[in-house]
Structure 1
Amino acid sequence: MIRMLLRVLGHDHARPVRRTVALMTITAIVEGLSYALLVPVLRALFGSDPEDALPWLIAFGGAVAVYAVLRYVSDLLGFRTGTALLRGMYHRLGDHLARLPLGWYSTGRVGEVSVLASQGVLQTMGVIAHLLGPYISALATPATIVVVMLAFNWQLGLAALVAVPLVAAIQIWTGRSIAAGDADRHERETEAAGRVVEYLQAQPVLRAGGRSVQRFALLDDSLRELQRASRRTVLSVLPGMIGLTVVVQAMFTALLVLGTYLALGGAIGAAEVLAILVLAGRCADPLLSLADIGGKVRSARSELARLDAVLRTEPLPEAPEPIQPVGHGLELESVAFRHGDRRVLDGLSLSVPEGHRLAVVGPSGAGKSTLLQLLARFYDVDAGAVRVGGVDVRAIGTEALMAKISIVFQDVYLFDGTVEENVRLGRPDASEAEVRAAASAARLDEVIERLPGGWAANVGEGGALLSGGERQRVSIARALLKNAPIVLLDEVTSSLDPVNEAAVHDGIERLMADRTVVMVAHRMRTVRRADRIAFLDGGRIVEEGRHDELLHRAGRYADFWSASLTPAAHD
């Protein structure tokens, strides 16, 4: 487990963990050695001159004092190391998740990552702070005491040593049972977490269907399965706990019988037998706690293994020597891309000269949004190349690429904070005047004037306290503030009311001015003003040209234009 923990934490945190483990091990060994001094103490007390026990008692007291200091220091170090690593682990996990391709985030990942990022990280990092010390003590202290027994009397030491493989076998067997139960429980937890999220997101649908007062069957079923899995996990621990108790009690009984036999035969004194039994009693306590502590450690190990699997998932590769593109033109050359078993783009080629606007239209599922995601390198292509400024995006550093691109999605996500904080995400170091100018250009100032609190108004989780049009204006203001030379737009006005659509359209026009633009749209108000239009279907460009040219051809684009024509298209 320690090796996996060090791998998960990374090289930067390996040294404090090793130092903590070493100190905890030394503390456990000192505890066992301090108990060894009980043998000469008892031997002197039961001998002809009890005063001979005084030096041994002083030595015993000193050893206990040293152990107490070491225990305090090791526990404090473990707690401080655990809390420090918890912060570092959250940063490492967050940075890694941000580098994974979007294709990794399947539907089931939401619940899995939420459980892992909350319960999983806390449980694994809590091992260092709360479980590692007792666990090492439960292993090292009895082992040290057995060595002491062997030194004082080899027969009793061997008798105690017999229990070692039995305890190890029980721990291994219990560990496998717990691992199987933990895997099942984790699967149920992930499903239940996903169902809770689904239940919350589905409230409008449930209420519209008159089911707001009814129980949500899918959520109830997942919670019942979680309850059953948790019960099975608890029950899987009981045989190991009972077996360990039986072994420890049998070992103590065997030592008592053997010690009595040796004492009656004159091979050992009564004081030595009593001392060995005291040592055996000190072995029993940590061994009996091993079942409970070991179960918690194994459960944390399961979480650690899942965390390790996420961190070992390969992110998009970074170029060893990144190239900085000079221009802002865009090019896709013979691009092929698959999403699962489905081929989304097949041999697609197009180019957008610097400062020009390309509109991409086509039926749903044609691959329009995927094209934008490839330009932003949310995925890597399976074949072909995507270039920005003549440089393959795989050869550009991620930060350098993102600095050149502003993206406005159809579904805007805002972080739970103020309006200003969400706008400043575009450029955190922007001046107040620049933020206000971006808001004015996006017509966000109209929204801010009517919000209680103005710029300090909280938008809620995901922007839930704002309307769709208001969220879109925040997104456009954020993109304007970023002032990137390339703009990617993904159907930003497709679900807005006429008033918000007009406001957003004005903001989009300002955002696109003098920039390289690729826009995906269903509504044609901005499409017909593009320098070029590409009609995408089946992952291929089937038509390409200016708006008037494509209408004159009376092909697929002309049919699409006629079918999607709205009064707004004549503005």
Structure 2
Amino acid sequence: MLRRTLGLTDRGWRTFKRGVLSCAIANLVLMAPMCILLLLVRDLMAHLEFGAPLPALAPYLAAVLLVLALVAVTQLLEYKSTYGPVYEESARKREGIAEHLRMLPLSFFGKRDLSDLTNTIMKDCADQERLFMHVVPQLFGTGISSAIVVVGAIAFDWRLGIAAFWPLPVATAIMAAASRSTRRKVEEKEVRRLEMVESVQEYLDCVREIRATNRSSVFLADLREKLFGFERAQVASELATGAMISSGQAFLKLGIATTVLGGAALLLSGDVDFLIYFAFLLVVTRVYDPINVVLQSSVELMEMRHSIRRTNSLAEERPMTGSSDFCPIGHDVAFEDVSFSYGGTDEPVLAHVTFTAKEDEVTALVGPSGSGKSTCAKLACRFWDPDAGRVTVGGVDAAGIDPEALLADFSVVFQDVALFDETVMDNIRIGREGASDEEVFAAARAANCDSFVSRLPQGYATRIGENGARLSGGERQRISIARALLKDAPVVLLDEATASLDVENETEVQDALGRLLAGKTVIVIAHRMRTVMAADHVVVLDGGRVAEQGAPADLMAKDGIFARMVRLQTENARWAL
């Protein structure tokens, strides 16, 4: 239960137990100097009271050197059992989260805000890294070592033991009573912080639109309120935690006072001798220091519960799994009575869709915006799984195949292009890792990239900025097309692949696609009817259903939705200012 609460891996859990043990040993070794001092005081008192010879210094110096060596060894052991392994565990956790995210269906990302996921991967992991390095091992280690000392002290003299340590259960009760209210304040602070981060992220993402619509003052006022809301929540959280810690520490200080007074009374009555009284004074002044640190650390542990819950909830999301053995017979993509809705909503995006995109043919998906064309393409390559029906590739149900094994046979060019802040060469080579430079150049030429790459400062070695920020929309789309051409997969999905190209470039890219896509299963989503008219098969979607399908000429003769779309686009082509 503790391992799950802390969100540790198998290796991290073993490391955690070693860290706790090493911290406990290190704390106990730090009590050794008090033992040496106590022995020295005993010998000096024997000399003063009974005339015994002065104690020899050599044994004490040797004991001091031995203790110093033990302290050095145990502190080094504690460091190696916490700091280094914690960094490794943090790296494993980040890699594990990234690997888990890679296997999740896209429906998950539709439900989660990008800033929230970024916050989980970066800040939550960093906070937990600090927690496991500075807080949790010391918390448990100090608890173990303090318990040993307390039990030993009470066993040695129960009267002085109770006088020294009675505040411990009282302080624990105070912390427990205040923890629920304090935890609510801490969680409220975390909620307000996340709202603030999301608002800042939204402002940075939409700054162009905000300025264009002259909404800067309104948006900044809302952002300012989010910032002040977080500040107020943080102040309230710190006041609550500060009051809780101060109350607990105040009661702990009473332990020293009662030890002094109770021990003095016992000393005067002759019930204890001075040496025992002095020993308890040493213990009580030493043992409360690490306990005070534990009290302060408990607040950090309370603050971490929110981030640990977030990382644990992320790990509990079910990934898309399947067989890695994908052996299709051909590459026909067939939709068999497929229904689908996003996020489990009642409103279906697709309802009972049935059609087949055959190998060595171009199948065009057309229809009004929101009719489900892009959703069909994403279901085909298993970015989602259908709610009902099935999608097969080469006769194999895609829902039973590992997404990576399935996508190895797909080249995809979506309307929204995703590029990385790397060179043009690296962005194209993502299509096929290990491709030679000449193969990359050939794909780039086929996608008509040479014309704009030649104008870049370092040509194909030029970094293009975050998501290709230094390129135009058409240039970004051509890189995406070159990436798909380089992959040369048997199934090609083109979702408005030429939408951002001018007429001249569109014609050249279409010629290249026509030459290089021969023999493949091609699914094209396009609004331009001159692109669709060259398809072998057209599927017309309307309201998430298949309204018509067939060859373009047959659909024109039918004079239905497809024919009306062609006429409307022809009329729009004659529109002028």
Please tell me the root mean square deviation across aligned C-alpha atoms, in Å: 2.5
Q: Does the aligned pair in 2 maintain the 1:150–1:156 contact within 8 Å?
A: yes
Query: 1:274 Cα shift?
Result: 1.8
1:330 aligns with 2:329: no
Letter in 2 for 1:18: K
| TM-score for both structures, normalised by structure 1 | 0.92
Rounded Cα–Cα distance in structure 1 between residues aligned with 2:174 and 2:446: 70
- 1:9 to 1:475, Cα distance in 2 relative to 1, 3 A: farther
Q: Does the aligned pair in 1 maintain the 2:335–2:356 contact within 8 Å?
A: yes
Query: 1:561 Cα shift?
Result: 1.9
Rounded Cα–Cα distance in structure 2 between residues aligned with 1:314 and 1:42: 65
Letter in 1 for 2:327: Q
Rounded Cα–Cα distance in structure 1 between residues aligned with 2:570 and 2:35: 92
- CA offsets, 1:137-165, max 9 Å, x none? 44233323212312321222233443332
Q: For residues 353-368 of structure 1, what are the structure 2 equivalents within 5 Å?
A: 353-368=358-373
SS at match of 1:343: coil
SS at match of 2:79: helix
Query: 1:29 Cα shift?
Result: 3.5
Rounded Cα–Cα distance in structure 2 between residues aligned with 1:355 and 1:172: 70
Rounded Cα–Cα distance in structure 2 between residues aligned with 1:107 and 1:177: 30
Equivalent of 2:551 in 525, 529, 546:
546
SS at match of 2:349: strand
Query: 1:214 Cα shift?
Result: 8.2
5+ residue gaps, structure 1? none
Task: Name which of structure 1's ranges 303-312 and 129-138 shifts more when overlaid on structure 2.
Answer: 129-138
Equivalenced residue count is 567
Equivalent of 2:205 in 190, 196, 201:
201
1:347 aligns with 2:332: no
Rounded Cα–Cα distance in structure 2 between residues aligned with 1:370 and 1:532: 18
Query: 1:298 Cα shift?
Result: 2.5
Q: Does the aligned pair in 1 maintain the 2:192–2:229 contact within 8 Å?
A: yes
Q: For residues 208-247 of structure 1, what are the structure 2 equivalents within 5 Å?
A: 208-210=212-214, 216-247=220-251
- CA offsets, 1:264-319, max 9 Å, x none? 12111122112201110112211222232221233233212211111111112334
Q: For residues 69-108 of structure 1, what are the structure 2 equivalents within 5 Å?
A: 69-106=73-110, 108=112
Q: For residues 53-64 of structure 1, what are the structure 2 equivalents within 5 Å?
A: 58-59=62-63, 62-64=66-68
SS at match of 1:216: helix
Rounded Cα–Cα distance in structure 2 between residues aligned with 1:450 and 1:214: 41
Rounded Cα–Cα distance in structure 2 between residues aligned with 1:460 and 1:2: 44
Q: Does the aligned pair in 2 maintain the 1:115–1:189 contact within 8 Å?
A: no
Rounded Cα–Cα distance in structure 2 between residues aligned with 1:36 and 1:361: 86
Rounded Cα–Cα distance in structure 2 between residues aligned with 1:275 and 1:64: 21
- 1:564 to 1:167, Cα distance in 2 relative to 1, 3 A: farther
Query: 1:511 Cα shift?
Result: 4.9
Q: Does the aligned pair in 1 maintain the 2:90–2:129 contact within 8 Å?
A: yes
Rounded Cα–Cα distance in structure 2 between residues aligned with 1:511 and 1:113: 39
Equivalent of 1:464 in 442, 451, 469:
469
Letter in 1 for 2:290: P
Rounded Cα–Cα distance in structure 1 between residues aligned with 2:27 and 2:573: 78
Q: What's the counterpart of residue 307 of structure 2?
A: 303
Query: 1:431 Cα shift?
Result: 0.7
Q: Does the aligned pair in 2 maintain the 1:36–1:148 contact within 8 Å?
A: no
- 1:292 to 1:501, Cα distance in 2 relative to 1, 3 A: farther
- 1:68 to 1:297, Cα distance in 2 relative to 1, 3 A: farther
Q: Does the aligned pair in 1 maintain the 2:23–2:142 contact within 8 Å?
A: no
Equivalent of 2:135 in 131, 138, 142:
131
Q: For residues 109-148 of structure 1, what are the structure 2 equivalents within 5 Å?
A: 109-148=113-152
Task: Name which of structure 1's ranges 110-119 and 471-480 shifts more when overlaid on structure 2.
Answer: 110-119
SS at match of 2:530: coil
Q: Does the aligned pair in 1 maintain the 2:175–2:245 contact within 8 Å?
A: no
- 1:136 to 1:14, Cα distance in 2 relative to 1, 3 A: closer
Letter in 1 for 2:109: Y
Task: Name which of structure 1's ranges 241-250 and 471-480 shifts more when overlaid on structure 2.
Answer: 241-250
Rounded Cα–Cα distance in structure 2 between residues aligned with 1:385 and 1:377: 11
- 1:251 to 1:503, Cα distance in 2 relative to 1, 3 A: farther
Equivalent of 1:176 in 176, 180, 184:
180
Rounded Cα–Cα distance in structure 1 between residues aligned with 2:179 and 2:511: 63
5+ residue gaps, structure 2? none
SS at match of 1:366: coil
Rounded Cα–Cα distance in structure 2 between residues aligned with 1:51 and 1:387: 94
- CA offsets, 1:13-63, max 9 Å, x none? 433333333322332333346645554443333334474586577546534
- 1:309 to 1:188, Cα distance in 2 relative to 1, 3 A: same
Q: What's the counterpart of residue 4 of structure 1?
A: 4
1:383 aligns with 2:382: no
Q: Does the aligned pair in 2 maintain the 1:427–1:482 contact within 8 Å?
A: yes
1:479 aligns with 2:493: no
Q: Does the aligned pair in 1 maintain the 2:428–2:482 contact within 8 Å?
A: yes
Query: 1:344 Cα shift?
Result: 1.2
Query: 1:533 Cα shift?
Result: 0.6
Q: Does the aligned pair in 2 maintain the 1:469–1:501 contact within 8 Å?
A: no
- 1:467 to 1:416, Cα distance in 2 relative to 1, 3 A: same
Rounded Cα–Cα distance in structure 2 between residues aligned with 1:499 and 1:464: 23
Rounded Cα–Cα distance in structure 1 between residues aligned with 2:404 and 2:550: 33
- 1:13 to 1:286, Cα distance in 2 relative to 1, 3 A: closer
